[in-house]
């Protein structure tokens, strides 16, 4: 299996590349830079959107895992709208060239304001440029895959918890503040409930989904149940031993954030169970 991973130098991409390599997968990793890409990969720095024949350029991969995306944490950046045609063009080009499967990183923000469990049938009503662009790409990928008679997987990521300073999540920002010696962190009231998944588990789930082809379509990358934001952040601070406390109410909640939302983990649970059985059989 030869997997092309785009956005490989990003916060999420670098961990997924490492997990795939640890699993024995041949990885072609591409991004503008290669500062954080595992050196075991076939690294090719390039502007993805300027390549005329990406399938040939990247050595005829079997699968593309498209994780490239800028301004992921700036939900109302116009770059999400402006870049959408570029993502569509890349996926369309590589889909017509012999790729066996398209895998694209999605986001729970494409769902919009929803309370409860999210599954394949959940209606999406995104409320940010980020969510709108991701949801549009999801529908386009589905059509492109059908037109080219190939399978696709849309990996809908939920809230990722990691203790790296790389990234722009609230957990990365708290780590940055703690390392800078700050004693207080401005926060919301923290009452919203989200599906939090640890960074390593996220990378494992993404790799496990890519490494099999029996289960396709929309796959939630999630834990499967919600936890109050304040509780998870307080626990994160304790887990890392940070000498910092939250200033509750300093910021209002984002108006487009759901009060309680989590992923249906049915598909990813089956994938992980199958992975475990294959490992035990070997």
Is residue 141 in a domain? Answer: yes
Please check whether residues 69 and 26 belong to one and the same domain. Answer: yes
Q: What percent of the chain has pLDDT over 90?
A: 90
Is residue 235 in a domain? Answer: yes
Please check whether residues 141 and 237 belong to one and the same domain. Answer: no
Mean pLDDT of 217-221: 98
Flag whether pLDDT at 281 surpasses 80.
no
Catalytic residue among 129, 130, 152, 159: 130
The total number of structural domains that make up the chain: 2
Mean pLDDT of 181-203: 96
Q: What percent of the chain has pLDDT over 70?
A: 99
Is residue 257 in a domain? Answer: no
Is residue 140 in a domain? Answer: yes
Chain segment 221-277, per-residue pLDDT in tens: 999 999 999 999 999 999 999 999 999 999 998 888 889 999 999 999 999 999 998
Chain segment 71-129, per-residue pLDDT in tens: 988 999 999 999 999 999 999 999 999 899 999 999 999 999 999 999 999 999 999 99
Is residue 258 in a domain? Answer: no
Question: Which residues are CB-neighbours of 80 under 8 A, at least 6 positions away?
Answer: 71, 129, 130, 132, 133, 134
Please check whether residues 189 and 136 belong to one and the same domain. Answer: no
Range of the domain at 74: 2-160+195-223+263-281
Question: Which residues are CB-neighbours of 155 under 8 A, at least 6 positions away?
Answer: 103, 104, 105, 106, 206, 209, 219, 221
Please check whether residues 29 and 133 belong to one and the same domain. Answer: yes
Please check whether residues 133 and 234 belong to one and the same domain. Answer: no
Strands 63-66 and 261-263 turn out to be unpaired
Please check whether residues 15 and 120 belong to one and the same domain. Answer: yes
Is residue 254 in a domain? Answer: no
> Is the model more confident about 11 or about 279?
11
- What's the rounded Cα separation, in Å, for the pair 6 and 256? 28
**pLDDT at residue number 257:** 84
Is residue 120 in a domain? Answer: yes
**pLDDT at residue number 115:** 94
130 is catalytic: yes
Is residue 97 in a domain? Answer: yes
Please check whether residues 176 and 243 belong to one and the same domain. Answer: yes
Please check whether residues 92 and 189 belong to one and the same domain. Answer: no
Chain segment 43-77, per-residue pLDDT in tens: 999 999 999 999 999 999 999 999 999 998 899 99
Provide the CATH number for the domain around residue 48. Answer: 3.40.50.720
Q: In Å, what is the CA distance from 56 to each residue of 61, 259, 272? A: 8, 46, 32
Task: Provide the pLDDT confidence category of residue 282 given band limits of 50, 70 and 90.
Answer: low
Please check whether residues 217 and 243 belong to one and the same domain. Answer: no
Please check whether residues 83 and 72 belong to one and the same domain. Answer: yes
Please check whether residues 107 and 236 belong to one and the same domain. Answer: no
Please check whether residues 129 and 58 belong to one and the same domain. Answer: yes
**pLDDT at residue number 243:** 96
Average pLDDT, the chain: 95
């Amino acid at each position: 299996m030869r997997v092309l991973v785009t956005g490989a130098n990003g916060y999420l991409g670098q961990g997924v590349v490492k997990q795939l390599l640890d699993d024995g997968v041949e990885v072609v990793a591409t991004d503008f830079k290669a500062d954080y890409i595992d050196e075991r990969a076939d690294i090719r720095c390039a502007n993805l959107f300027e390549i005329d024949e990406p399938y040939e350029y990247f050595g005829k991969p079997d699968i593309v895992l498209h994780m490239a995306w800028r301004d992921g944490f700036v939900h109302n950046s116009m770059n999400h709208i402006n870049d959408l045609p570029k993502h569509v063009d890349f996926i369309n080009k590589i889909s017509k060239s012999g790729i066996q499967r398209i895998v694209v990183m999605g986001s729970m923000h494409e769902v919009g304001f929803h309370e409860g469990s999210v599954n394949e049938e959940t209606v999406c009503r995104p409320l940010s440029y980020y969510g709108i662009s991701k949801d549009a790409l999801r529908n386009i990928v589905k059509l492109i895959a059908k037109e080219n008679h190939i399978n696709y997987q849309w990996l809908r990521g939920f809230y990722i918890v990691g203790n790296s300073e790389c990234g722009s999540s609230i957990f990365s920002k708290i780590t940055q503040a703690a390392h800078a010696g700050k004693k207080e962190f401005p926060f919301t009231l923290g009452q919203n409930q989200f599906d939090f998944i640890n960074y390593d588990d996220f990378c494992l789930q993404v790799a496990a989904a890519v490494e099999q082809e029996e289960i396709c379509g929309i796959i939630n990358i999630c834990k499967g149940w919600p936890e109050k934001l304040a509780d998870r952040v307080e626990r994160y601070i304790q887990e890392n031993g940070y000498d910092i406390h939250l200033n509750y109410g300093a910021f209002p909640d984002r108006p487009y954030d759901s009060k309680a939302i989590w992923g249906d983990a049915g598909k990813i649970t089956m994938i992980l169970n199958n992975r475990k059985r294959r490992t035990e059989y070997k």
